[in-house]
Structure 1
Amino acid sequence: MAFSSGSGGGGPMAEINVTPLVDVMLVLLIIFMITAPLLTHKVEIKLPEANLDERPEEPGVPITLAIQDNGQIYWNDDPVNMVALESQLAVEAQKKPQPRVDIRADDTTKYRIIADVVKTAKNVGIAKVGFVATPER
């Protein structure tokens, strides 16, 4: 309880009682002193270093598969059906290094059609299949 010095009436006291503040700060200091050593990592890991002199081979031009909402598939802007797509992807899968396959689809294209194209690419051995989207503005 805060008491005023004998200089006046029973008005409110304008001094701040700092004792609870000091108590809370000391408790927080002790907690941080105990938990800080526990936050250090005990497991030592040797991370690889980057070497900019040697760069991996970049595969050639990526293959772009465009899929319209009606199910029509285009191989680099040339129309193709699923049988021809599978045979062309099988030929591309044999190349070293394999080209990347980028899939562009309309926003109203059924997911089943896109999933069939991705499944076909994976079944013939294409390792990298990606999706192309328009960036948000």
Structure 2
Amino acid sequence: MQGPFNRSGNKKPMAEINVVPFIDVMLVLLVIFMITAPMLTQGVQVDLPQVSSEPIENQDESDPIIISVDREGVYFITLGEDTTSVSLDQMSERVMAILQRRPGTPVMVRGDRNVPYGQIVVLMSTLQRSGVANVGLLSEPPQDG
């Protein structure tokens, strides 16, 4: 009788490697990487609403900084009643100056629906580099028709 152990007492070592545990470990690692890979993407952190809600009231007396992007992609800064057209670099400097004078001022972004999404992302990234921790997105309520 042949095999790793025969009755005559001669114990021959088995020369085969069992690869089943290796395959099990590889499958577990594959599943772990498939689950964690989508979580590693980077992006601008935005607090999006999860459900429809009522408009919030302004908690403090300070007017928010409202940054608008019109249909042509021109940027505007509105603080109180003052609206100014600015470039992306000028906007960064002005927002930093306003936040140094009035820390904690809320920053809101209002973009035209025809503006490319990439331009809004660049705007929000610029605001984040300017020291804005949270950016709010303004919209209009849906019209019932």
| Cα distance, 1:115–1:59 mapped onto 2, change above 3 Å | farther
Find the aligned partners of 1:96 and 1:89 in 2 and give their Cα distance.
10
Which of 51, 71, 77 is equivalent to 1:75? 77
Provide the residue aligned with 1:62 in structure 2: 64
Provide the residue aligned with 1:110 in structure 2: 116
| Cα distance, 1:124–1:59 mapped onto 2, change above 3 Å | farther
The TM-score with structure 1 as length reference comes to 0.54
Find the aligned partners of 1:123 and 1:104 in 2 and give their Cα distance.
19
Indicate the larger mover: 90-99 or 113-122: 90-99
The residue type equivalent to 2:113 in the other structure is D
The runs of at least 4 aligned residues of structure 1 exceeding 6 Å deviation read none
Deviation at 1:59, TM superposition (A): 6.1
Provide the residue aligned with 2:138 in structure 1: 132
Find the aligned partners of 1:65 and 1:133 in 2 and give their Cα distance.
13
Identity of aligned residues (%): 21
Deviation at 1:83, TM superposition (A): 1.3
Aligned length: 81
Q: Which has the larger radius of gyration?
A: 1
Runs of 5+ unmatched residues, structure 1: 1-56
The residue type equivalent to 1:85 in the other structure is M
Deviation at 1:116, TM superposition (A): 1.0
Deviation at 1:71, TM superposition (A): 1.1
Deviation at 1:95, TM superposition (A): 3.8
The aligned runs of 1:4-19 (5 Å cut-off) are: none
The TM-score with structure 2 as length reference comes to 0.51
Find the aligned partners of 2:133 and 2:60 in 1 and give their Cα distance.
14
Provide the residue aligned with 1:49 in structure 2: none
Find the aligned partners of 1:82 and 1:61 in 2 and give their Cα distance.
21
Provide the residue aligned with 2:40 in structure 1: none
RMSD: 1.7
Deviation at 1:103, TM superposition (A): 0.8
Provide the residue aligned with 1:92 in structure 2: 98
Runs of 5+ unmatched residues, structure 2: 1-58
SS in 2 for 1:66: strand
SS in 2 for 1:103: strand
